[in-house]
Amino acid sequence: MTEASQKSGAMSRRQFLSDTAKTACGVSLFGFGLGMYSQQARSLPPLAVRPPGALAEDEFASACIRCGLCVRDCPYDTLKLGRFGDDVLTGTPYFTARDVPCEMCDDIPCLKACPTGALDPELEIIDDARMGLAALIDQETCLNFQGLRCEVCYRICPLIEEAITLDLQHNQRSGDHAFFIPVVHSDACTGCGKCEHACVLPEAAIKVMPRKLAKGKSAEHYRLGWEEKQKAGGSLVNPDVQHEYNLPAGVEYEHGGRGLIEEKVEAVPFSGNPLDTLKQHKADLQ
Amino acid sequence: MKKLKMPGTDRIARVGWLKANEWLLLRRASQLFILGLFLIGPVADIWIVKGNLASSLTLDTLALTDPYVLLQSLFAGHMMQATAIIGALIVLIFYLLVGGRVYCSWVCPINIITDTANWLRKKLDIKGQGLRFSLKTGYWLLAMTLILAFITKTIAWELVNPVSMVYRGILYGMGSAWLMVLAIFMFDLFVSRRGWCSHLCPVGIFYGLLGSKSILRITAMNREQCNDCMDCFSVCPEPQVIKPALKILTEDKNPLIQSGRCTNCARCIDVCDQNVFSFTTRFNKQDGMHLHQQKEIMP
């Protein structure tokens, strides 16, 4: 080898190394940026709901290839694909319950269309879908919480009396009436969003959210005494001792009833009938 | 300085514009036809093909899946259903037959954009390469997309992949995808000659890997006719692939263009006034003229 060719060889090696380093650095930088972006973009916005059978969000991001076949087979045009620039992971399917809710087709065509398994084919009955969870998050505006009888969310629920029930409570404001409080049951709610869609308020008081957001979790060690008692068929500890109250003579306490009873005062309770009061007054005068 | 001569001028003068652009026109027709098949569903409610290039369903029977997306998903930790795997195999076999980067030149919509940018670049007389990328950059990017899928457990590349973005955009709603199209057009026009498709795009590199094994190839069979007009080099998106075949630099001296990076776009056939190039299979290594071509050349 001549000196000249050795020299040019050395130069080209240097050239090669610097080129390779340049490319590697550029590509890594781009990759780093894309990686950060992907981590940021993968957090689903709270009001976007995935189609029925969608894998957990983490797995979904690796399984969905963004082909949109589920969108095409949705007969109600509920589903749409996240567009570039939207909050939803580019190209992945979702729906906004307030706009168009899931109609919960029995044959689940969106899931059947999925070629990858991102919509889990093991979901066979639509009632078992868990797209999200409805939560009545604004008690201040919900009409039923004001004592009115709206109940549209309850009536429209495809699983009425299972996913949403009405819980009767005393209306202290009027004294005579009941509150019909809609209560969502997470063991039955599919997250279809028909309640949110139907809510009559300009801004829905009941909203479908990812289950992770909408659902609390009790501590692992929590046990509810009355449930355990029912399971065991009897008290798990020694039976409660009847509580004895230390009260002055002539005074009694009735737990879960009238409360403190001072027998000395023989108050004549006013009768509901005003005539009785008049008669009583007449008797007192005589 | 002399203005750049548009490649193909000689052939256009001899055989007419139509004949001298027939492969280009066929390619554009193919690209638009495939897009049209997808588009006729949402536009006219005639459902021939559903989905997009990532995965599609034709006439409710033929399910096809992009093997590159499938590979990314695999790296991200998801094993696909049989439907997708079979669909990807069909696509793999198809491109092994017709040439991997036939995807680029006959299907991909971005190709229309970058070809236009490059054409305009010549018209505007913008000389030189501009920003220079090593031909290996694409391989790095391809590796990066797979590693990134593995690390992030997301098909991260598909967040920004302009190829699928444009298709999805046209079929399902563009969003800001137009900006991406514009960016690539500007990039190829002003920043780097043939920067995107020939140097960076990992999708093309992936299909190029198939292309190195594929059957249908371009051959410089009539290379002794070459008059060194350089039109083929000027028009070719991957000019480095021509030289070994045309200038007899391969070990076995055969005239086939062997690089997987050749997109089988056949622009070289269009522009060559000497009919040096033609389509053949990888098994046909013979040199010399086809009979029917001889007739065409001799006036």
Structure confidence by residue, pLDDT tens digits, A152-183: 999 999 999 899 999 998 888 888 888 999 99
Nearest CA in chain A to B42: A72
How far apart are the C-alpha atoms of B265 and B280, rounded to whole Å?
13
Q: Cβ distance A244 to A232 under 8 Å?
A: no
> Are B103 and B195 contained in the same domain?
yes
Is residue B260 a part of any domain in this protein? yes
Any domain includes B36: no
Domain boundary among the residues B210, B242, B275 is at B210
Q: List the single residue in B52, B80, B137 with the smallest CB-CB distance to A27.
A: B137
| Domain range for B253 | 217-297
Q: Looking at the structure, do residues B91 and B166 belong to the same domain, yes or no?
A: yes
Of A31, A83, A121, the CB nearest to B174: A83
Domain-embedded: residue B37: no
- pTM for this model (two decimals): 0.77
A77 touches chain B (CB under 8 A): no
- Asked casually if ipTM beats, i.e. exceeds, 0.90, the reply is no
Q: State whether B168 and B247 are in the same domain.
A: no
Confidence of residue A269 (pLDDT cuts 50, 70, 90): low
Residues B243 and B177 placed together within one structural domain of the fold? no
Does A285 have pLDDT greater than 70? yes
| Residue B150 shares a structural domain with residue B227 | no
More confident residue, A16 or A185: A185
Least reliable range by pLDDT among A32-41, B69-78, B231-240, B286-295: B286-295
Number of domains in chain B: 2
B205 plus B293 within the same structural domain:
no
d(CA A131, CA B86): 29
Tell me the average pLDDT across B210-227.
85
Q: Positive or negative CA dihedral for B253, B254, B260, B262?
A: positive
Give the mean pLDDT of A238-258: 78
Residues 115-174 of A with CB under 8 A from B: 115-118, 121
DSSP E strand boundaries for B13-90: 49-52, 55-58, 62-65
B191 and B228 both lie in a single domain: no
Q: Which of A163-167, B15-19, B74-78, B188-192 has the highest mean pLDDT?
A: A163-167
State the average pLDDT over residues B46-70.
87
- For residue A48, pLDDT beyond 90: no
Residue in the block written with tokens 């929590």:
A222
Q: B149-163: per-residue pLDDT in tens? A: 888 888 888 888 888
The chain B residue lying nearest A19, using CA atoms, is B134
Stated as kind and residue range, the H or E segment containing B51 is strand B49-52
Verify that B72 and B188 share a domain, yes or no.
yes
Which residues are CB-contacts of B21 (< 8 A; sequence separation ≥ 6)?
B8, B12, B270
Query: Domain end: B184, B210, B236, which one?
Result: B210
Choosing from B210, B238, B264, the residue where a domain stops is: B210
Q: Are residues B204 and B243 in the same domain?
A: no
Q: Please tell me the total number of residues recorded for chain A in this structure.
A: 286
Mean pLDDT score of chain B: 84
Residue B115 has pLDDT above 60, yes or no: yes
Residue B281 lies in a domain: yes
Is the distance from CB of A254 to CB of A263 less than 8 angstroms? no
Assess whether B71 and B130 both reside in one domain: yes
Interface contacts A/B by beta carbons within 8 Å: 167
Contact indicator for A135, A209 with CB cutoff of 8 Å = yes
Indicate if the pLDDT at residue A3 is higher than 50: no
